[in-house]
Amino acid sequence: MRRPIVLVPACTRQIGPHPYHAAQLKYVDAVVLGADCAPMILPALGAALDLEASLSVCDGIMLTGSASNVHPSYYDQDVLDPSLPQDRARDATTLPLIRAALERGIPLIAVCRGFQEMNVALGGSLYQAVQEVEGKMDHREDPDASIEDQYGPAHDVILTQGGAFQRMLGGVERIAVNSLHGQGVDRLAPGIAVEAVSHDGLVEAFSVPSAPGFTLAVQWHPEWQILDNPASMAMFGAFGQACRAFQARREGRA
């Protein structure tokens, strides 16, 4: 039996004189090493993307982190800091992809920007600068630190008692996570269930209980050195199992 196919939507990047569709290796590796699935990078084609064709061949979707932010026009705000990168092509690709995938019950796991995309796609809004919100801490990484320190444990998240994520991790009450984001969930979209928060109350993980398939979105980066992190392996392992179950149903083997 072939491994399930997981779509990994790409970002757009300007590398030298040429534009690229790009996905970081660590996200692709997480699909392979954590979920035991076959990644397929999806170009950020926006309105030109054939959603039906793309969804017809996949058994799961992973929404990755990125240096860029979801454009605030999608939640009725103006850009707060024009110096921060945007990726309108990715927005135009992932937001309708999320809604279509959830309707079909396609398993979906989301990280950092992907976490924010899911909230916006379903009608929520974001803080564009969490560090400027009263009562919230600065969740950004130290730009002068080594990459190992940037992706090292930054704070704990408190898991929702009895929540789907807590059950997935065997009932633990909190886990240590890294923190490399300047934006975060402000207004939670309707139908979303909070699965974890940081000690300042910022939403750090959520699921969509009304969706017929697996959903998990987290604000941190579980893909970083995934083989060394049991919680990350449990998350991607559960996602991979959901992808295999979806594949079996789609192929009539369930």
Catalytic residues: 112, 221, 223
Q: Are strands 193-198 and 155-159 parallel, antiparallel or unpaired?
A: antiparallel
Q: What are phi and psi of 34, to 5 degrees?
A: -90, -40
- List of E strands, 79-213: 108-111, 126-127, 155-159, 174-177, 184-185, 193-198, 203-207
And the tokens for 126? Answer: 């974001």
Please answer whether residues 125 and 77 qualify as being in contact, where contact means their C-beta atoms are separated by less than 8 angstroms.
yes
Tokens found for residue 201: 């109350």
H or E element: which one contains 239? helix 230-250
**Kind of pairing between the strands at 60-63 and 108-111:** parallel
> Would you say the C-alpha torsion 124, 127, 128, 130 has a positive or negative sign?
negative
Distances (CA, A) of 16 to 13, 19, 20, 66, 229: 9, 8, 10, 19, 35
Alpha helices, DSSP H, located in 25-168: 25-29, 51-56, 88-104, 113-121, 147-150, 164-168
* Distance (Å, whole) CA 219 – CA 205: 6
